[in-house]
Each structure stands twice: as structure tokens, then as C-alpha cells.
Chains A and B, each alone.
Chain A
Amino acid sequence: MIRLEKRKEPSKFWRIANPFLAVVLTMLAGGVMFAMLGKDPIVAIRLIFFDPIFSETFGSYSRPQLLIKSAPLILIAVGLAIGFKANVWNIGAEGQYIIGALFGAGVALAFFPAPGAHIFPLMVLAGALGGFLWAMIPAILKTRFNTNEILVSLLLVYVAERILAAMALGLMRNPDIAGFPGSRDLRRYEAAHNAELFAGTGIHWGVVAALIAVIFAYAMMTRHMLGFHIQLAGQAPRAARFGGVAPARLVVICLGIAGALAGLAGMFEVSGPGGQVRIEFASGYGFTAIIVAFLGRLNPFGIVLAGLLLGLTYIGGELGQMMLQLPGAAIQVFQGMLLFFLLALDFQTNYRLRLTKGVRA
């Protein structure tokens, strides 16, 4: 008979090994899925995980794409991970990302077509502020009325999507091109354009911001009382109160940081790779970032690796659609499987399976 036994201490080995194992299992299960779709699994897996970087044909296009796709994931996931550590479950980063983009684009469109070096910094501030304010809705509802932040933040994603559509069709629509939804292309407005900083690398201000966020988050979580209090609140809420942590303040801080970072990610996207406010602007980064945060073990540097990996699946998924006519949903299935396998494997971090002889009731 198989029995579960709780480990005395969580296994350090499995904590580190599980993300890698989850990737391998995802590849295997993905291969089976592709085989069932009638595609050659080895070719498909190679196309998704290796060709974007190593292929001669696609590499020059997709290598810079890697940073472009990964940066928002990392930026958002770093913020989410801080909250997750404190048991504050912000599931609505997608909404904060959208509102951040709208705030940033709003500043740009308000100044259009004036030149000026102050415009882009203002957009950055506006983007962070937008995400922050959107995250304050679940924060205040939670601290005031004890609502569940998971539900509120998630449902606000759909509200944000509606606002995005309304903006693309209405207030922010490009007045120069009649009949088309979508704002002006910010890439054509120099003062607001989040351009590539080094040609051919994909590095834009969002990538820089992601790096800074990673370093700051790491320093805060390991060296600062705030990080200590966040971990304390997550692990032992009563001990946190004894240590002088005000739980309500912590909820506001965690949601605020995550919201601001998600808003920044949205703003860098809309002013750079995305280019304009469109109905289909939101591409699920806010949700994928949840997977990134867990796959990276809520550790800022782990999140960098996980963000790069999931960025890769975005690009590989596009390649797969182009080259093998894989369905577009395949990549979401892939990302979902990754989280699924990780959570399943994490069970053995805290428990071990035991084979026992005899029967016990």
C-alpha cells in the first residue's frame, strides 16, 4: 500500500529540482499531445524550445523577441511573488497591466504631437500609477470589508478589458484614420516611443525596468524589514502581528507593488512592442506571470529564468503555428501543464511516498 508521510523539513533538493522536472514532464506530455494531433512530436518540441534561439533561419528574428516577451512577464511576476509570499493573492495583474498601459498611452496621446524629453518619464509614472490604483480596489475592499482579493482582482480584469475596448473604440481612437479601432501608433511618436535601446537585441526600457525590479525585490526580501515582515506575515500571521506588522498595511503594500509593476509592464508594452491601444492589446501576460512566479519559486532570480522560459514558449508557439500549423491554444495548454506539473511535483517537497506492507485503516 502507498502511504503519504509528511517530511520533517521541506526537501531542499526537490524545491530546486521540481521546476526542471516539471519542464521535462511538460515536454513529454506536450509531445504526446502533438503526436495525437498528427504532428511529429520531436520536431514540434524542437521548434518550440530550441529553434527560437538556435535556428539559423528564425534566430535573428526570434532572439530579440525573447527579451521582448520575457520582460513584462518578469516585471509582473516579481511583483506578484512579493504578494504571494505574504499570502496576498493578486490574480488580476492582467487588469493592472491594461490600466497601466491606458494611463501611459493616455499621457502620450494628451501630449501628441509635441516633442519633449519629459513625456516618456511622465508616461512611466502614469503607467505605474494606473496599475497601482487598479490594485488598490481589491486592497481597500479587502482591508475595509474583508472581501477576497482573489475574486475581486480577477473580476476587475474583465472590467479592465471592457475599459480597454471602450478606449480603443472611443476616447483614444486615432482621429486621423476613420473607421478603424485603435489609437495612434506610439512607435511613430518619437517622444513617447519605447524604442529598442541597442539595435537587434530586443532590449527596451521595459527590460531595464525588469532587471532593476529583480534586484530591488531581491534586496528588499532578503535585507529589509519590509521583506522580513512580508515573509513573516505569509508564514505565521500571528507571529507577524506580535512582531508589530499591521496586516492591513501589508495588504496595501503588496497589492500596490504588484499593481505598479504590472502597470509599468503594460505601459512599456503599449509604447513599444505593442505600439497602440487596441482591443486585442492584452495578451495574457498578467496570467502567465502567475506561472512564472511559481515556476521561479517566488525568488526574483528564479523568476528571471522562468520568465525567459515562458517567453520562449510564446515565441516557439508562434513558430509552431507558422511552420506546423499547430493550434494557437496549444501554447496555453503548454503553459497550463507546466503549472500543473509543478504543483503536483511540489507535493513531494513536503511529503514522501512510502510503500508499506499490511493494511491499516
Chain B
Amino acid sequence: MRKSLLRLEGLTKAYPGVVANDDVSFDIGEGQIHALLGENGAGKSTLVKMIYGLVKPDAGQMTLRDQPFAPAQPSDARRKGVAMVFQHFSLFDAMDVAENVALGMENPPPLRDLARRIRDVSEAYGLPLDPTRLVGELSAGERQRVEIVRCLLQDPKLLIMDEPTSVLTPQEVDILFRTLRKLSSEGTAILYISHKLEEIRALCDEATILRGGRKIATCDPREKSARELAELMVGQVLHPPERPARPMGDVVLSVDKLSLHSNNPFGTSLKDISFSLRAGEVLGIAGVAGNGQDELLLMLSGELQAPSAQVRLKGQPVGHLGPNARRKRGLVSAPEERLGHAAAPDMSLTSNALLSASERKGLASRGFIDWPATEVFARDIIARFDVRTPGPHVLARALSGGNLQKFVIGREIELDPDVIVVNQPTWGVDAAAAATIRQALLDLAGKGAGVLVISQDLDELLEIADSFAALNEGRLTPVRPARGLDVEEIGLMMGGAHDMHVAQEASA
């Protein structure tokens, strides 16, 4: 047994209407890589925020190296040796790496010294980083390195990492893991938050599993199978989705050598995209965030228009058509961002059902809305996709992420499309809801629709896709059959790791 670094005892935190953490206790040992595992809403974030001084516990206490530890704010926590890398980076695009790091320090040294220290630390830990580069030019993986290096400069005793691999290619994940193991061997403990089970089994010494705000178990993840961990996390037996064998039909959607300029200054332009999708096929498109996924979805949904003949739906040119005209012809979509894009947060579920269904469901005649029929449609979605909500009058933003996602995907599936395009269908969704959504997409393909899934979750794509391509800086790789692909190959399709050779030299 290692010596305890941080001990949590009976931590409890309640918000109006929900107990986020209920009597949570566990130990993190010196130099230990400790996983905190749980679904969305299990209370991981609240727990971590308490350790980092962002939230005050209602009850319970913490001790750090046998001293009482009750940080009133993050700077207290940092002073005592706790550092955190957030899932969402707080970096300024228009400043260079060293300037960004200096902004997060209480007494930053002169920039030139800081740049040298950044270089030293990044080399020592195999995280190649040029302190003079503008953050706006960095990839997501490189930005994460900035955040990590910023933490390492404080020489922390405990490093908290919140879902760090969601923005990384498999190769970048390897680099990160090497760094974390090195830190651990030097005595820095790491609290690693994730719901990716294989990663946790590969990296962590110990795992604490939260469900519904309570601690369910603390175990050695290497002694459990991923399935066992998942069932502890979800609290029920999981069924992998069924993929009935199905014949592939004709090409229903094709894109031909399409280049499209992004209308967002920080967006990614699409470059020379070509692919085709057949009836009954599930095409998975992988890629690290920000490589053109949003633009691809907008281009297919009709929110961005393209030269008409370069996008064809069942052979007909549709590139010039807007979203409703494409829906009418059988092409529906579900964007990544649920609140604000796929659904209007402050509108009821009934109104949100109308949002994309008015055309195909005939919910408006000569512009006049048939509200009773719309409500019936909303109720249908709620019932068929097991959306947990008091009723269709509830505002979209009152739903949990998983429930709203089921509603949004369900709405599009209920439109009985010929082609459906979804971006990140299960992002931030609990495992049970994710399984429902994947099964629904597979069922739709089984009925003969073409399904295009854009996702950053490789496990998801390998689970449901028949064929596979990857987006990298706005370019799409050739489509390949998904069967027989391994994670290494996929990683290379996604662009490998940026500056990987440097990293290997540094870590060698």
C-alpha cells in the first residue's frame, strides 16, 4: 500500500434538486495514477471541483499529506500542489504559448526565462512544444500540451486531468500516457477522469467508480474486464448493438471533389472531399475535433450551400438547396451541438419537434401550424426513444444531455429519411442512451437508409460502421471497409501525431 497523498472523507455536495456527491470517500496514493470513472452526471466534475477549490463541500473533509485541506479557491489548491487540466482549454488564440502560460501564473518570470523553462519541461516529459508559436495555430493535442506544461511548471503533487484523450489521435494518446507514467514514476499523483474503459485499464493503478453521486467501488482496473467496469459504471447489464446482415443498395448520397470555404474565421475549410454512401450502409467518419466535422455536417444538412452538382442525393443534384428542401427530398441531419443548434434551448419539446419535421411530417399547411399534430409527434418521439421527461411541454434545456440527444436523433429518425447525417451522436451521453441511439441508427440502416456518422469516438465507429474514412485538416481519406481496421491504422488515417518523431526522440 502506498502512502496516502490526498484522502477524501464523506464528501457531500447538494445542488437544488440534486445531490451531486453523496458521502464519497477514497484515497489517492503518492505517485498513483488513480482513475475516476463514471457516466455523465455521476458526480465526477463536482468532486474534482471540490478538490480544486472551485466548489465548497457541504459536508466531509479532505486531508493532503495528513494536513487538513480545504481550498477556498483554485489558487489555494495550486499553492498546495494540486493542478488541473480542464477538458475545455482556457487559452487565447492570438497569443503565443509562453504568453498564455504566463497569464495563468501568479508571479510569471520574464518571458525569455519562461520560454526556456517551457522548453525544458516539455522536453523532459516528451511533450514537444515551441513557446513562441501562436496558440491559434496549434492542433487540439498541442493546445492540451500547453495546459499540461502550464501545470507542470508549478511542480504539482497531484495533477487532475479531465477527459484528456477526447481531443487526441491514438498516437497522441500514446505520447500522453508516456508522459503521465513518467510523472507518476517521479512521484506525482494523477487523478484521471474518463469514461473510456480501455484507457483506464491500460494506464491506471486504481479506479474509483461513481454512479449517481455515490462511490460504487474502488478497484484495480487491470483486474477487471472493460465489460465489468462498464456494468459497475452503468449499474445494469449492457448489450452490444445488434448488426443484422443487410444487403447494400444503390448509392444514395455522393459528394464529388468538393472544396468549401468555411464561413467561420476559426473554422476549417473542406478540401477536395469525395465519397459515396449506399442504401443500408453505415459510413463512419473519424477525426480529431476541429478538422472539418462541423463544416462537413453543415454542407450536407444544407446550412452551407455548395455547387449544386457536387452533392447528389439519389442521383439528383442538391448542393444548392437549403435544409428544408433537402429534408423534403429525404436527407436529414443531426448536428453535434444539441442545445442551440439541433434544438432551441428555451423552446418546448413540441416546438423543437416542429423545428425540422414541419416538411416531412406535414405539420403545417400553407404555413399554419397544426399544433395538436405536432404535440402528438413529440409524444411519439418521447415514447419510442425512451426520452425521460414529464412531457412535451418541457423546455429543451431542462432535459439531460442524453435525453435531449435521444429526442433530437429520434426526431430525425422518425422522419423516415433516405439518408441521415449525424455528428457526434453520443457525445456526452450516458452509456444506456448511447446504446439506444446506436441501435436506432443501425435499425434505420437495416431498413435501407444510408447512415453517415461523424464521430470522434473510435470505439463507436468500429462498433457500428461498415466503412470508414477520416477527416484531417479538412481533407477526407479514401473510404475503406471498417472490418479488419485496427486502431493504429485509424490513427494514421486521422493524421497520426503532430510532431510525433520529435516526441519519440525526446522520450527515447
**Is B340 a contact partner of A238 (Cβ separation < 8 A)?**
yes
Q: Does B322 contact A (CB under 8 A)?
A: yes
Q: Do the beta carbons of B335 and A361 come within 8 Å of each other?
A: no
Instruction: Give which listed residue, A9, A228, A244, A360, contacts B322 with CB less than 8 A.
Output: A244
Q: Given A235-B347, A236-B344, A238-B340, are A243 and B355 neighbors across the interface (CB < 8 Å)? A: yes
The answer to whether A239 and B364 touch across the interface, beta carbons within 8 angstroms, is no
A9 touches B301 (CB 8 A): no
What are the interface flags for A217-261 relative to B under an 8 Å C-beta threshold, 1 for contact and 0 otherwise? 000000111101001100110111111101000000000000000
* Alpha-carbon distance between A289 and B303 when the two chains are bound, in angstroms: 36
- Of the candidates A225, A231, A242, A361, the one whose C-beta lies within 8 Å of that of B342 is A242
The answer on a CB contact under 8 Å between B323 and A238 is no
Whether the Cβ atoms of B345 and A235 lie closer than 8 Å is: yes
Q: Separation in Å of the A208 CB from the closest CB of chain B? A: 24
Q: Does B165 contact A (CB under 8 A)?
A: no
* Chain B residues in 8 Å Cβ range of A241: 303, 323
Verify A232–B323 contact, CB threshold 8 A.
no
**Complex contact B351–A239 (CB within 8 A):** no
Residues from chain B with a CB closer than 8 A to the CB of A232 are: 344, 347, 355
- Give the residues in chain A near B16, CB-CB below 8 Å: 8
Asked if A224 contacts B347 (CB within 8 A), the reply is no
Within 8 A of A (CB), among B345-371: 345-347, 351, 354-356, 358-359, 364, 367-369, 371
Are A244 and B323 CB-contacts (below 8 A) given A228-B354, A239-B340, A239-B355? Answer: yes
Chain A interface secondary structure, helix, strand, loop or mixed? helix
Could you tell me the distance between the alpha carbons of A8 and B17 in the complex, rounded to whole angstroms?
11
Q: Tell me the bound Cα distance from A317 to B335 in angstroms.
A: 55
Q: Is the CB of B323 within 8 A of A226?
A: no
B369 and A228: CB pair below 8 A?
A: yes
Interface status of B276 (Cβ within 8 A of chain A): no
Residue of B302, B344, B371 near A239 (CB, 8 A) is B344
Determine the chain A residues whose CB is within 8 A of the CB of B369 once the complex forms.
223-225, 228
B82 → chain A closest CB, angstroms: 17
Q: Give A224 to B341 CA distance when docked, in angstroms.
A: 21
List, in ascending order, chain B residues with CB within 8 A of A242's CB.
Answer: 301, 303, 323, 333, 335, 341-342, 355-356
Closest beta carbon of chain A to B412's beta carbon, Å: 11
Contact present for B345 and A236 (CB under 8 Å): yes
Docked-complex contact B324 and A238, CB < 8 angstroms = no
On chain B, the residues within 8 Å of A226 by CB distance are: 367
B337 touches A238 (CB 8 A): yes
B173 touches A (CB below 8 Å): no
Q: Contacts A232-B347, A244-B322, A244-B324; is A239 near B342 (CB within 8 Å)? A: yes
Q: Which residue of the partner chain A has the closest CB to B358?
A: A225
Taking a contact as CB atoms under 8 Å apart, the answer to whether A9 and B355 are in contact is: no
Enumerate chain B residues within 8 angstroms of A225, measured Cβ to Cβ: 358, 364, 367-369
Interface status of B124 (Cβ within 8 A of chain A): no
In the complex, A361 Cα to B71 Cα: how many Å? 12
Cross-chain contact A361 with B73 (CB below 8 angstroms): yes
Contacts between chains A and B (CB distance < 8 A), count: 71
Cα of A243 to Cα of B342 in the assembled complex, Å = 9
The CA of A102 and the CA of B335, in the complex, are separated in Å by: 49
Does B59 sit within 8 A of A, measured CB to CB? Answer: no
B94 CB-CB contact with A under 8 Å = no
In the bound assembly, the distance between CA atoms of A29 and B284 in angstroms comes to: 65
A8 to B73, CA, bound (A): 25
List, in ascending order, chain B residues with CB within 8 A of A8's CB.
Answer: 16, 398
Which residues of chain A are within 8 angstroms of B346 by Cβ–Cβ distance?
Answer: 235-236
Bound complex: CA A224 to CA B340 (Å): 22
Given contacts A242-B303, A243-B355, contact A236 B367 (CB under 8 A): no
Q: Please count how many residues in chain B sit with their CB below 8 Å of the partner chain's CB atoms.
A: 35
B105 is an interface residue with CB less than 8 A from chain A? no
Q: When the two chains form their complex, are residues B337 and A224 in contact, meaning their CB atoms are under 8 A apart?
A: no
Docked Cα-Cα span, A240 to B344, in Å, equals 8
Scan residues 347-361 of chain A and give those whose CB is less than 8 A from a CB of chain B. Answer: 360-361
Do residues B323 and A243 form an inter-chain contact, with CB atoms below 8 A?
yes
- A224:B367 contact, CB within 8 angstroms: yes
| Given A228-B351, A244-B324: A239 touches B341 (CB 8 Å cut-off) | yes
- Which residues of A are found within 8 Å of B302, using beta-carbon distances? 244
Q: Please state if B322 and A246 are interface contacts (CB–CB under 8 Å).
A: yes
Nearest chain B CB to A6 CB, angstrom units: 12
Interface positions, chain B 324-346, Cβ under 8 Å from A, are: 324-325, 327, 333, 335, 337, 340-346
User: Is B395 located at the chain interface by the 8 A CB criterion?
Assistant: yes
Query: B325, B354, B356, B398: which contacts A9 (Cβ < 8 A)?
Result: B398
By the criterion CB–CB under 8 Å, are B367 and A239 in contact? no
Q: Which of A77-93 contact B (CB under 8 A)?
A: none
How many angstroms from the CA of A246 to the CA of B301 in the assembled complex?
14
Contacts of B73 in A (CB 8 A): 361
Closest to B328 in A: A244
Q: Tell me the complex Cα distance, A265–B341, Å.
A: 38
User: CA A225 – CA B335 in complex, angstroms?
Assistant: 22
Chain B residues whose C-beta falls within 8 Å of the C-beta of A360 in the assembled complex? 72
A233 to chain B, nearest CB (A): 10
Shortest C-beta distance, B32 to chain A (Å), equals 31
Q: How far is the CA of A277 from the CA of B323 in the complex (A)?
A: 48
What residues on B are CB-neighbors of A246 within 8 Å? 322
B297 to chain A, nearest CB (A): 10
B72 to chain A, nearest CB (A): 7
Docked Cα-Cα span, A186 to B97, in Å, equals 72
Closest partner residue, chain B, to A231 (CB atom): B347
Measured CA separation A236–B324 after assembly (Å): 17
Point out the residues of chain B lying under 8 angstroms from A231, CB to CB. Answer: 347
Whole-angstrom distance between the alpha carbons of A236 and B397 in the complex?
12
Closest to A241 in B: B303
**A299 shortest CB reach to chain B, Å:** 16
Q: How far is the CA of A239 from the CA of B371 in the complex (A)?
A: 19
Complex: A9 Cα to B396 Cα, angstroms: 11
Q: B341: which of A228, A235, A238, A361 is its contact (CB, 8 Å)?
A: A238
Complex Cα spacing A228 to B72, Å: 46
Q: Determine the residue in chain B with the shortest Cβ distance to A361.
A: B73
B303 surroundings in chain A (CB, below 8 A): 241-242
- 9 more A-B residue pairs beyond the given contacts A236-B344, A244-B322, with a C-beta to C-beta distance below 8 A: A235-B345, A235-B347, A236-B346, A238-B340, A238-B341, A242-B341, A242-B342, A243-B323, A361-B72
Seen from chain B, the residues whose Cβ lies within 8 Å of a Cβ on chain A are: 16, 72-73, 301-303, 322-325, 327, 333, 335, 337, 340-347, 351, 354-356, 358-359, 364, 367-369, 371, 395, 398
Interfacial residues, chain A to chain B (CB-CB below 8 A): 8-9, 223-226, 228, 231-232, 235-236, 238-244, 246, 360-361
List 25 A-B residue pairs with CB atoms under 8 Å apart, sorted by A's residue number: A223-B368, A223-B371, A225-B358, A225-B367, A225-B368, A235-B344, A235-B345, A235-B346, A236-B340, A236-B345, A236-B347, A238-B340, A239-B340, A239-B341, A239-B355, A241-B323, A242-B301, A242-B303, A242-B341, A242-B355, A242-B356, A243-B324, A244-B327, A361-B72, A361-B73
In the complex, the 9 A-B pairs of residues with the closest C-beta atoms, listed nearest first: A244-B324, A236-B344, A244-B323, A238-B341, A239-B344, A243-B355, A225-B367, A241-B303, A225-B364
